[in-house]
Amino acid sequence: MEAVTHLYTYPEVLELPQGRTDVEAALEKLSAELQLRHALRIKPGHVGRITVPDTTPDETWAAMGRVVADWPDLFLPRPAD
């Protein structure tokens, strides 16, 4: 089974131009930290959900904590397993 993680953003954050810019910058940092082949992006039609391929939730959230200090303002907390 492939490892995949889903991140969810606050809809109201994406409604603001600066909020969308902040989320995109956070995704770029996370992509670099995880050494993903393709940068994570907000996809049209799925504005609240970002799929992180080939990465477990533990790896994703550890990387998020290292490189996105303001993640609690941009993304919903990790769901309980």
pLDDT digits 0-9 by tens, 67-76: 999 999 999 9
Task: Find how far residue 48's CA is from the centre of its chain.
Answer: 10
Is the Cβ–Cβ distance between 27 and 50 less than 8 Å? Answer: yes
Q: Tell whether 60 is covered by a domain.
A: yes
Q: Tell whether 10 is covered by a domain.
A: yes
Q: Tell whether 81 is covered by a domain.
A: no
Task: Find how far residue 45's CA is from the centre of its chain.
Answer: 16
Full-model pTM: 0.90
Q: Tell whether 80 is covered by a domain.
A: no
Q: Tell whether 69 is covered by a domain.
A: yes
Q: Tell whether 79 is covered by a domain.
A: no
The percentage of the chain sitting over the pLDDT mark of 90, rounded to a whole number, equals 67
15 CB neighbour count, 10 Å cutoff = 10
Count up the domains in the chain and report the number.
1
